[in-house]
Structure 1
Amino acid sequence: MSDSTVPPAPQGPAARTGDALRRMTARSRDEEHRASTPLELFFDLCFVVAVAQAGGRLVHAIADGHPGHGVSGYLTLFFAIWWAWMNFSWFASAYDTDDVPYRVTTLVQIVGVLLLAAGVPRAFDDGDFRLVAIGYAVMRLALVTQWLRAAQAARGEDEAGARTTAVRYAIGVTLCQVGWLALLLPYGAPPAWAFLVMAAAELAVPPLAERTEPTSWHPHHIAERYGLFTIIVLGESVSAATVAVQSAVDEHSALGDLLPIAAGGLLIVFSAWWIYFAVPIHDYLASNREAFLWGYGHYAVFTSAAAIGAGLEIAVEQAVGSAHVSTRAATWSVTVPAAAFLFTVWLLHSRHSKHGMAQQLTLPVAALGVLACTWTGTHGVLWAGFVCAGAVVVGVSLQTREYV
């Protein structure tokens, strides 16, 4: 049979199904129908545990009157959660082979996620970061093996750039991990300056590694992955607020005091979802410069989205007298993350597709309006929900008028 009669090899995830071992070569950035795999979705869901733990400790710290400790601990631990998730997602976008070694290594990373989540209460309450450090090490060193496998597969002369990039990633991640273990295992809680130095070192690895040749991450796939994780953290906010309302009603029967908080919280979360997914972003992710700034900026998007749920829990506890904070402080715990979410989504997403001053100012003005709701008394959360819903209505109206 001649070569012309041989059917072309299948492409994409379907071609890899059932293969026990494949050569880990870079996937094409132009691959069609690139979507999240079941393993990636499972990976994301396991991160819910860690996000819930961090949000839960934030609630307890603020409700007990220790907002500084709660916020700093939350931001520190969420960095580890976010950074491990982000590194996996970008690697998978470029190199996902979906074979047995890849799947097993990803499952090992999930074990690291669960160890980190189990260590969150001890890190928050006692400043003991050892279990968090061990879980983080499991996730990161498993990723190193993936990069080494990608480097080993890039054997041809035309793949020298890809091999260099993979080796740089492996070295950079390993050095950072050694630094974290040296910092956390002997001493527990790191000084603030040491954490900032190590976080900066982590953030520097991808730009340095891809300086010569970028990885072949897929814009549609990356946009989808970030969108799915946004849904997860917003869903965690809904879950946390629902449990808080249920517990308050069971223990205090204060349904009348909680309905405005529940209604405002739902309006905020629904509006957050609508605003984030109002426009597609994949066309903007044309190069590493835009993509890295966009991806790094999502630290603020994810932390604020998850913190909305924590804030709603605090508002519920304050309404029934279980939190040692004022009404204004409880409202702050909702309005600040909600305003941060609106502004950062505008900065990363919306401003690239808006036309005219009115469209550009809608979300920044709404963010200021949400903050102003802090001073509206006991119904501040409800008013903040109305402002968020109003931003959606205005945005849809302006966009509709543009195309009429």
Structure 2
Amino acid sequence: MERVGERASATNLELFFDLVFVFALTQVTAMMAETPTWPGLLRGALLLSVIWWSWIGYSWLSNWVKADEGLARSAMLIAMAAMFLLALAIPEAFDDLPGGLDGPLVLAFCYLLVRVVHVWLFWIAAGDEAELRAQLVRFVPSMIGGTALLAIASQLSGAAQTAVWAAAVLADYGGTMLIGTKGWRLPSAKHFAERYGLIIIIALGESIVAIGVGVTHLAISWPIIVAATLGLAIAGALWWSYFDTHVLAAEQALAEARGAERVRMGQVAYTYLHLPLMIGIVMLALGLKKVLGYVGGEKGHTLADPLYGPPLWAMYGGVALFMFAYVGIGWRTKHVFKVERVVLGVVLLAVVPLVSYVPAMASLGVLTVLLIALIVYEWFKYHDIREEIRHATHE
């Protein structure tokens, strides 16, 4: 298998591999939309955590060996098939439907297969790297523990099932954190940052899909056009806030770091802190889908009806979570703390009780205005720094 160089870029196979995650994110949004309750949102977040953990393993692997060469190509395709089957089982992740196979157990088995292929290929790719192989051995207990807990959860229901799912996520994430970073490598900062940027684009694309899916069965109207435009503006604002300079500055910091520090930065800023970015975007997608249904007259709703409860908190809280995670990533990579983003996140959470009394379209408009105001404010405040980062990167 061919090793990855410092200036490597994402391969076509990696982009193809990511397509199953588009489907998985759509499945999670649809599942939460069917039961937009607090337990439903929690279960959605847990599902996203499992899906994310499946993806990040291959982001590290493909930074070590080229994904489209030799044995890695076949292994990636096998993992892709397992991930697709996992996504198919998402509607039954917590409640098995009558007939057929046990849905929750199928999901747990597919998750195990995705993880086993990852560790097996990494073991082969490690070659004579004794430290990396030792780290992979230490990695196995958390993998087995997480998947075993998912299998146990498949036979439970209600709060007990959700609690065991949470324990499974904790076993995976916490176990990996406890074994440390010794032996891991990040040969290409450019490739690593690019992969995470692409998955953020995929998540934002899913939010746009949610807007369209939310109204496919409704007659097109001016309220739908206005709401869809506002939803697209929100997705565009999040794209701007991440890709305008953030992704460039973070990649620069990762490239400048060396050895163990680069690995630690990659683990914290990307592997861990990009998860709340993803959850925030998917929660936003849920809120957007509900707003479009409201303004389109779905299930007897009118333009005067407010969006309230978990869907409203998902929409505003999702964006707030995105902002908080962004601040954490900026601090870990460049030691830059953007106070205005923390302030926006707090404001978003504070206004939820107020906008729950206004029409759904108005709550969408308020969110749009707040995000655009942030973009305009940062455009002027960081104008010189922004120009320096962008021009330095493109030289």
TM-score (norm 2): 0.82
Q: Is the 8 A contact 2:22 2:206 kept in 1?
A: yes
Aligned counterpart in structure 2 of residue 301 of structure 1, from 277, 283, 299: 277
In 2, Cα distance between equivalents of 1:77 and 1:51: 9
Cα distance, 1:121 vs. partner?
0.9
Distance 1:304-1:191 versus aligned 2 partners, 3 A rule: same
Q: Which moved more, 1:193-202 or 1:221-230?
A: 193-202
In 2, Cα distance between equivalents of 1:149 and 1:209: 20
CA deviations 1:148-177 (Å, max 9, x no partner) are 3134x21xxxx32233233333x3365235
Q: Is the 8 A contact 1:150 1:166 kept in 2?
A: no
In 2, Cα distance between equivalents of 1:162 and 1:354: 29
In 1, Cα distance between equivalents of 2:334 and 2:286: 31
Q: Which moved more, 1:198-207 or 1:266-275?
A: 198-207
Cα distance, 1:312 vs. partner?
0.6
Structure 1: tracts of 5 or more residues without a match: 1-21
Q: Is the 8 A contact 1:264 1:386 kept in 2?
A: no
2:324 is aligned with 1:348: no
Residue in 1 that maps onto 2:222:
256
Residue in 2 that maps onto 1:47:
21
Q: Is the 8 A contact 2:149 2:167 kept in 1?
A: no
Q: How does 1:97-136 map to 2 (within 5 A)?
A: 98-126=68-96, 128-136=103-111
Q: The residue matched to 2:169 in structure 1 has which SS?
A: helix
Question: How many residues matched?
Answer: 361
Cα distance, 1:178 vs. partner?
5.3
Distance 1:266-1:370 versus aligned 2 partners, 3 A rule: farther
Aligned counterpart in structure 2 of residue 149 of structure 1, from 105, 124, 133: 124
In 2, Cα distance between equivalents of 1:126 and 1:186: 10
Structure 2: tracts of 5 or more residues without a match: 98-102, 389-395
Cα distance, 1:351 vs. partner?
8.2
* 2:313 partner letter: W
In 1, Cα distance between equivalents of 2:89 and 2:195: 26
Residue in 2 that maps onto 1:381:
364
Distance 1:150-1:207 versus aligned 2 partners, 3 A rule: farther
Q: Which structure's CA Rg is the greater one?
A: 1
Percent identity among equivalent residues? 24
CA deviations 1:347-367 (Å, max 9, x no partner) are 213786587xxx822212222
2:145 is aligned with 1:201: no
TM-score (norm 1): 0.80
Q: The residue matched to 2:89 in structure 1 has which SS?
A: helix
CA deviations 1:87-125 (Å, max 9, x no partner) are 111121123363332111111111111111111111255
Q: The residue matched to 1:33 in structure 2 has which SS?
A: coil
Q: How does 1:261-300 map to 2 (within 5 A)?
A: 261-277=227-243, 278-279=245-246, 280=248, 281-285=250-254, 286=257, 287=261, 288-294=263-269, 295-300=271-276
Distance 1:175-1:217 versus aligned 2 partners, 3 A rule: farther
CA deviations 1:50-89 (Å, max 9, x no partner) are 1100011111111xxxx12320220121111100001111
Residue in 2 that maps onto 1:224:
194
In 1, Cα distance between equivalents of 2:380 and 2:225: 29
* 1:238 partner letter: I
Cα distance, 1:241 vs. partner?
0.3
CA deviations 1:250-290 (Å, max 9, x no partner) are 2xx5x233344223212211010000112221233332332
Q: The residue matched to 1:115 in structure 2 has which SS?
A: helix
Q: Is the 8 A contact 1:144 1:174 kept in 2?
A: no
Q: The residue matched to 1:322 in structure 2 has which SS?
A: helix
Distance 1:91-1:364 versus aligned 2 partners, 3 A rule: same
Residue in 2 that maps onto 1:9:
none
In 2, Cα distance between equivalents of 1:112 and 1:323: 40
In 2, Cα distance between equivalents of 1:258 and 1:354: 42
Residue in 1 that maps onto 2:47:
77
* 1:160 partner letter: A
Q: Is the 8 A contact 1:112 1:137 kept in 2?
A: no
In 2, Cα distance between equivalents of 1:318 and 1:35: 43
